[in-house]
Amino acid sequence: MALSDVKCRSIRPASKLQKLSDGGGLQLWVQPSGTRLWRLAYRFDGKQKLLSLGGYPVISLADARQARDEAKRLLKSGVDPAQERKFHKASSQKDSFRSIADEYVEKLEGRADRTIKKVKWLLDFAYPTIGDKCIREIDPATILTARRVEVRGRYESARRLRSTIGSVFRYAIATARAEADPTIALRGALISPTVTPRAAITEPKALGGLLRAIRAFDGQPHNPSGPETDGADVSPPRRTSRGRMGRVRFRKLDVDHS
């Protein structure tokens, strides 16, 4: 007799293992502890075998039936479902998002150390959710669940995380391990950061006050989370890029006579 969700939920555990059949070899095992597990009994190459399909209710009755039907199709093709699962698992581990992301980071060699550290920092937010998944099985909905930084209100970091994940997928496409970049579908799905414009200092006296305040700064000349601040007070009048000024030591400059 076929099972129903009501029966799967309401069956009470007994002192011994109970096996409830749904037909086609699909069984729900009810442990004395109350745990409910799906099992599929089948024969392959003249031998009786058993395949674990997961626990109920995480794996619903409909999901278990679908897994049974897929296993039956494999059997008709002469494939052992248990061996197919092992092969698929090994392939998934080889092409996991984490392993491909590690390759992508290695390809960034030659970039600034700060850039590489930022990429690794962003990827660490994605690993708990999609790190061990086969990259071909990751869809937009799965990536959306990895937006922990957005939940914390860090909307700009969430945007950069989506971009970084997209870079990993494009690398996987280039190396023939993925066919599409699912992050494209997430454009517009993330909350955009609120940008507060700041008025530029246009009065010479006010600008001079800012430069004097920078020069009088008595903190550490190097910020671990940003570029070095030495020479920041000469950057505006020299119109030098922030990246270049970040690598200049103040002691190398003669501000008063330059």
Torsional class of 186: left (φ above 0), alpha (ψ -120 to 50), beta (otherwise):
alpha
Place of tokens 């009994």: 41
- Per the CB < 8 A criterion, the answer to whether 51 and 82 are in contact is yes
Kindly list the domain boundaries of the chain, sorted by start residue.
5-79, 97-186, 204-252
CA distances from 206 to 139, 201, 209, 242 (A): 52, 7, 5, 21
CATH architecture of the domain 97-186 equals Orthogonal Bundle (1.10)
**Tens-digit pLDDT profile for residues 53-71:** 888 988 899 999 999 999 9
- CATH superfamily assigned to domain 5-79: Integrase, DNA-binding domain (3.30.160.390)
pLDDT in tens, the chain (258 residues): 688 989 998 989 999 999 999 999 999 999 998 889 999 999 998 899 998 888 898 889 999 999 999 999 999 988 888 888 777 665 556 788 999 999 999 988 888 888 899 999 889 888 888 888 888 888 888 887 765 544 455 667 777 888 899 999 999 998 888 888 888 877 765 556 555 666 777 788 887 887 787 777 655 444 444 444 445 555 555 555 656 655 655 555 554 544
Q: What value does the mean pLDDT of the chain take?
A: 78
CA distance 211 to 223: 18
